[in-house]
Amino acid sequence: MAKLISIPSSNPPVTNLRALDQPSVNYDQETYRVWACDNQIYGPIPLAMLTQWVQEARVLRDTWIYFEGCQEWRLAKNIDPLRDSFAPGDETIFLERQSAEGGIAPEELRKFAILASLSNHELAQLVRFGEMVHANPGDVIIKRGDPGDALFFVLAGAVRARIFVGSEEKTLGDIPAGQFFGDMAMFTQSPRSADVVCESEARLLRFGAEGFRTLIVQNPSAAAPMLFAIAGTMAQRVMDDNQRFQREVASGFVWR
């Protein structure tokens, strides 16, 4: 193993750094250099040794690897022959243990569009700050007038929103697995505007306002896409309500 020059910056060398949409590579015939955490470059080495270094955790997912033949740098996690060689990280092990014990599986959370792009590390933070809720048919999950202190992700089963007009019950909408509710009241810190009741046996992740604030401070990269997506959902609801109001006004207008 040859020790080469030191790279003083905190980023990999930018010379000949190419996009990842280059023609396919013959990985077995390539030789590689590794930009290590001590800011040294090691190599050249063949694929077999590079794979061994991954298995020994000397090369991590975010280690930069130089392809001598292609003259380009790539992250180790973007090199096809290495993808299955990385040992699972602590957060992945945590999520796998949660799933095996009847908790939340990463695949359940990635059903939600606002969570689909999050890494296992970011999902683990979400699970740690959340609370699992099990509900049976007829259970009232939130009541109208309750404090808006949390949002809920429906992992399995179905729930519905309702209000009472006098003594008559009105269903506002069904909320199946893969959707969330409670965000409007949580972000406006206002009382709940409707009841949410369980229609079929359901599993939900309750994510409180305080947990969300902690997530924003401790892991903004996980909180930012969620905030953006939730804001988009809330904006869409407001736009739908405006369009509905305009239709109602227009239908009641008498042309003269």
**pLDDT, tens only, 128-164:** 888 889 999 999 999 999 999 999 999 999 999 999 9
State the number of CA atoms in the 13 A half-sphere of 221 facing the CB. Answer: 8
Q: Map out the domains of the chain with their CATH numbers.
A: 3-82 (3.30.1490), 92-244 (2.60.120.10)
CA atoms of 19 and 14, how far apart (whole Å): 12
What does residue 123 show for φ and ψ, rounded to 5 degrees? -65, -35
- Six-digit token string for 172: 């506002």
* Residues facing residue 169 across a β-bridge: 164
Residue 69 CA: distances (Å) to CA of 15, 25, 44, 74, 82: 14, 9, 11, 13, 18
Query: What pLDDT, on a 0 to 100 scale, did the predictor assign at position 195?
Result: 95
C-alpha to C-alpha distance for 200 and 184, rounded to whole angstroms: 24
Give the span between the Cα atoms of 95 and 157, in whole angstroms.
21
The two tokens of residue 119 are 């890494």
pTM above 0.75, yes or no: no
Torsion of CA 208, 212, 214, 215, to 10 degrees: 130
**Greatest CA separation found in the chain?**
90
How many residues appear in the chain? 256
What residues of the chain score a pLDDT lower than 50?
A: 1-10, 14-22
Model pLDDT, residue 19:
41
Q: Residue 3 has what pLDDT? A: 41
Give yes or no for a cis peptide into 44 (omega within 30° of 0): yes
Distance of alpha carbon 222 from alpha carbon 113, whole angstroms: 13
pLDDT at 64: 93
Q: What is the DSSP string of 99-114?
A: HHTTS--HHHHTTSTT
In angstroms, the CA 223 to CA 216 distance is 5
Residue 182, sorted as left (phi over 0), alpha (psi -120 to 50) or beta, turns out to be: left
Query: What pLDDT is recorded for position 136?
Result: 96
Long-range contacts of 169-178 (CB under 8 A, 24+ apart): 174/199, 177/111, 177/202, 178/111, 178/112, 178/154
